[in-house]
Structure 1
Amino acid sequence: MKEEIFKIINKIRDTIFPVFCIFCEKEGMAVCQNCLKEIESVPQFFCPVCYKDNLNGGSTCFFCQANSFLDGVMALGSYQEKKLRQAILEYKYNFKRNVFIVFEHLADDFLSKVSFHDIFIKKLNWLFVPVPLHRSRYWERGFNQAEELAKMLASRVGKEVGAGILKRVKKTSRQVGLGRTERIKNLAGGFIVEKELSGRDIILVDDVFTTGATLQECAKVLKQAGAGLIWSLTVARER
């Protein structure tokens, strides 16, 4: 209900106030076609523990496997790319929902470039699971960016979304500025799974991979619930 209200408010706002491209300030749309064409996916495949780029498609390094609940990670691009970073911040914190076109464009570009991962993602019976927000933060924001990303990504490879499987039951402090150890402590006991997953393979979806602490905590409780392979797919990689 609240999400529908936000959509109506955004439409009214866009009608009354002119819309400008967040990048070049050209009037007419939140992201103009010229700027959109300049944004390209730079696929990121790396170990979620040591963060090293690897040649095995993002699978967790052999020597890091004992310290990871994630079996592999992928990201559509780098958080260091200025336009992508700006789009994420505008969408997530300034509630510019029409900036989502950037992520759709990036997903299509990613899948066109990584045929191996396109096949890999389509082959298994993946369930796309978004990292959840605590209900209080959801009501503040009006939407869960990870859930919208999961629905968009899953639709492109014909997979199911499990939006309500993973729940955040602890309102944690904001993670910005925290190191990996502090993030792990902050997130401990923060998630639960209310469904037996019986070997189901999972792709965890979030906006940014920073230290991986949130994704690892989610993967831990999903594996405790019986999940099989667990990979993460984010829009951007910060490290």
Structure 2
Amino acid sequence: MWKTWLLRPLEGLLDLFFPPQCPSCGGTVREAFCLCDNCQSLTRRVTPPWCPRCGHPFSRGPDHLCRNCLNELWHFDGLRSSFVYRGPVAKLWARFKYRGDRGAFRTLVKLAAQDLPAFEVDLALPVPLHSSRLRERTFNQAWCLLRALWPDLPRRYNLLLRHRKTASQVTLPPSKRKANVRGAFSVRERLSGESLLLVDDVFTTGATVNECVRVLKAAGAGRVLVYTLARSILT
């Protein structure tokens, strides 16, 4: 407590001479790891009305199933995301994912934590990276999200394995993404009906998380929910 009291004047002086900057545009902000008003206005949270199955947001409601949920066989039991993947969110996430920018990560975690879905599950796990991609990047971004956003949830890092290296989904058209990840994942051990939370960074076509959930349920998982920091929206 006394250390905090002694540091407050120093923090005030630092803010006076080196005011915190918006991590997206560099403008001045009131608090570190926060967006400025303009970047906040360009950041869209995923809120109702939305699809009750996959969480796809609509401009007006009521809640109803989106066309993907009407036409596709999803294996997951529900999906929620915090943001639409565009603007400052896309910019900051790319800086963390590809450049390891921890300040960008802290900003997004701080924003997501303001309105975080509550999940009651037996176990949480990340979408895994292939070992070669992990060596290249040095961290699994989904695991970082899981640890930062739900530190109290029971979690397993390597229950779900990515045993086949695949092309980056970003480089592929939507029509080829499902085939790209088919058979790329396996489960380390048999499950006994546990409810799971699967965490990933961005939901685009859903091919990756859907394949992960398929193999988890084939291994004996019960209800499987999915969380992604951000998601693309249908056009």
Q: TM-score range by the shorter chain?
A: 0.7 to 0.9
- Kindly indicate whether the alpha-carbon contact (under 8 Å) linking 2:52 and 2:65 is maintained by their aligned counterparts in 1: no
The 3-state SS of whatever aligns with 1:176 is helix
Distance 1:91 1:34, change over 3 A: closer
What secondary structure is seen at the aligned counterpart in 1 of 2:170?
Answer: coil
Q: Please say if 1:224 is aligned against 2:185.
A: no
In the alignment, the residues of structure 2 paired with residue 50 and residue 210 of structure 1 have an alpha-carbon distance, to the nearest angstrom, of 12
User: Is the contact between residue 198 and residue 226 of structure 1 (CA under 8 Å) also seen in structure 2?
Assistant: yes
* Pair 1:167 & 2:136 matched: no
For normalisation by structure 2, the TM-score amounts to: 0.75
| Residue of structure 2 in register with 1:43 after alignment | 46
Instruction: Give 5+ residue unaligned stretches, structure 1.
Output: 1-18, 112-116
Contact between 2:196 and 2:224, CA under 8 Å: does it hold in 1? yes
Contact residue 196 and residue 225 of structure 1 kept, 8 A: yes
2:78 equivalent among 63, 72, 75 = 72
Q: Secondary structure at the match of 1:105?
A: helix
Contact 1:130 1:204 in 2 (8 A): yes
Q: Which residue matches 1:88? A: 93
Q: Distance in 1 between matches of 2:35 and 2:177?
A: 38
1:137 is aligned to: 133
Which structure shows the bigger proportion of residues in helix conformation? 1
Q: CA deviation at 1:131?
A: 0.4
SS at match of 1:98: helix
Q: CA deviation at 1:23?
A: 1.9
For residues 197 and 125 of structure 1, what CA distance do their matches in structure 2 show? Answer: 14
CA distance in 2 between partners of 1:199 and 1:41 (Å): 36
Greater C-alpha radius of gyration: 2
Structure 2: how far apart are the matches of 1:25 and 1:217? 39
Residue pair 1:42, 1:77 contacting (<8 A) in 2 also: yes
Q: Which residue of 2 aligns with 1:23?
A: 24
Matched residue SS, 1:172: coil
Q: CA deviation at 1:153?
A: 2.2
Count of residue pairs brought into register by the alignment: 204
Q: Conserved in 1, the CA contact under 8 Å of 2:199 and 2:226?
A: yes
The Cα offsets for residues 29-59 of structure 1, whole Å up to 9 and x where unpaired, read as xx6545399376713553677957573799x
* Corresponding residue number in structure 2 for 1:12: none
1:147 corresponds to? 143
- If the length of structure 1 is used for normalisation, what is the TM-score? 0.74
In structure 2, the CA distance between the partners of 1:200 and 1:52, relative to structure 1 (3 Å rule), is same
Quick check: 1:41–1:109 contact (8 Å CA) kept in 2?
no
Residue 6 of structure 2 corresponds to which residue in structure 1? none
Change over 3 Å in CA distance of 1:218–1:89 after alignment to 2: same
Residue 32 to residue 220, structure 1, CA distance change in 2 (3 Å)? closer
CA distance in 2, matches of 1:201, 1:178: 31
Partner SS state of residue 95, structure 2: helix
Aligned match of 1:7? none
- Percent identity of paired positions between Structure 1 and Structure 2: 33
User: In structure 1, what residue type is equivalent to 2:40?
Assistant: E
